Copies of this chain bind each other. A is one copy, B any other.
Amino acid sequence: MITINEHYKKLQASYLFSDIAKRVAAHQQAHPDQRIIKLGIGDVTKPLPTACIEAFHQAVDEMGREESFRGYGPEQGYPFLRESIAKHDFQDRGATISADEIFVSDGAKCDTGNIQELFSTDIVVAIPDPVYPVYLDTNVMAGRTGTYENGRYSGVVYLESLRENNFIPALPATPVDLIYLCFPNNPTGSTISRAELQTWVDYARDNRALILFDAAYEAFIRDESLPKSIFELDGAEEVAIEFRSFSKSGGFTGTRCAYTVVPKACMAYDSSGKPQSLHDLWHRRHSTKFNGVSYPVQRAAEALYSANGKRQAKELIEYYLDNAALIRTAMTELGYACVGGDHSPYIWIEGRGDSWQFFDRLLQQAGVVCTPGAGFGKCGAGYIRLSAFNSRENVEEAMERIKQSFG
């Protein structure tokens, strides 16, 4: 008899986005003439940079001619892209990451979801709360948690991010083996300083733990004193893996390209305590279960590192950051405590009730859709997330409406 992976039964059905959709649809039906403005989802709205479009077309043409056609590429990505990444995103910032430590993929969601396969199922996992739900769900599926009760899975160490700790969790009080961190954070938009991040690296080194650092939003960091990569920190290459994405930095959410950095110095241990190269393990996983990213997509991603591509991508980011500033200013003026938005497309706003009440009020009084913080973890229960991914006009109008009905 074919039996299922019973751990899937522990997963909580995610009603978040369907609940949102239902409430929005009901509101729209009751107010058919109102133009609802969506500041909920974390998806880009501006087109791909011209430099990417040009490179994309050129590579598609190559695929149409016998002499330049490309079949299977290297599973880890083409050297042209891996070398651009290593140089521009790391070496130019003083991080000694080499091209062969970069694994190009079709998404940071896949990579952050798949990476846990490399580890034993009996490790202790530390996961921020609130955070992007993929880290937790994929560990539930793999059997690293107990059952769900009162908003929490047993067996998981939750790293609570609250106003009290400035949305930077404290080091775990009990021993942990695997630590997920995400900065700039999704959903809070909070950032971490070099000194604070160094304490995590030091903790991992002292405890033979491993940090999975999700830097999908690094492009939004404007303050040069903040680390964009964990590999800018001393000793991180021995205890950290980093995830990056072109989704937000280049508008690639529908184009699909990302990468993961697994330094050759980074080790885990077998049951006898012998170090094992995580680079080799991920290479094996990548080669066995993945067949590389579409060649034209890799060329489009490479174009983000050209002079034009860099400038155009920076314009995209500035555009969204200007939106974010409008949102944060407006909500702060209305008396709400806000974090994020300065080095992040997300503004995390503390309500005066639960997240769903806040959601309903924004929808009913202003016709604006947000994401209720409860969808990101127990600690998000009193908050909402507003996203800067929309047109300037829509953001301005949304803030105007909120001011009028909430002011």
A256-B291, A292-B256 known; A177-B64 Cβ under 8 A = no
Please state if A4 and B281 are interface contacts (CB–CB under 8 Å): yes
Name, among A271, A288, A290, the residue most crowded by chain B CB atoms within 10 Å (CB to CB): A288
B72 touching A47, Cβ below 8 Å: no
Residues of chain B lying within 8 A (CB to CB) of residue A406: none
Binds B, one of A48-56, A190-198, A350-358: A48-56
- Cβ-defined contact, B3 with A253, below 8 A: no
Are B57 and A255 in contact, with the CB atoms below 8 A?
Answer: no
Contact of A2 among B66, B106, B269 (CB under 8 A): B269
Chain B residues with Cβ below 8 Å from A289 are: 109-110, 113-114, 134, 138
Tell which of A2, A47, A270 has the most Cβ of chain B within 10 Å: A2
Does the CB pair A288–B2 fall under 8 Å? Answer: no
CA distance A122 to B1 in the complex (A): 11
In whole angstroms, what is the CA distance A106 to B290 when docked?
9
What is the bound-complex CA distance between A47 and B61, given in angstroms? 10
CA distance A138 to B289 in the complex (A): 8
Q: Is A94 an interface residue (CB 8 A)?
A: no
Which residues of chain B are near A48, meaning CB under 8 Å? 63-64, 69
* Complex Cα–Cα for A141 and B119 (A): 11
On whether A50 and B71 interact (CB within 8 A), knowing A109-B290, A114-B289, A291-B256, the answer reads no
| Known A64-B47, A256-B293; contact A268-B71, beta-carbon cutoff 8 A | no
- Whether a CB of chain B sits under 8 angstroms from the CB of A46 is yes
Is B177 a contact of A138 with CB atoms below 8 Å? no
Q: Is the CB of B254 within 8 A of A284?
A: no
Contact A110-B290, Cβ < 8 Å, known A3-B268, A273-B1: yes
A6 surroundings in chain B (CB, below 8 A): 120, 270-271
> A residues near B, CB below 8 A?
1-6, 8-9, 11, 41, 43-48, 50, 53, 56-57, 60-61, 63-66, 69-73, 106-107, 109-110, 113-114, 117-123, 134, 137-138, 141, 177-178, 207-210, 251, 253-256, 268-271, 273, 276, 278, 281, 284-285, 288-297
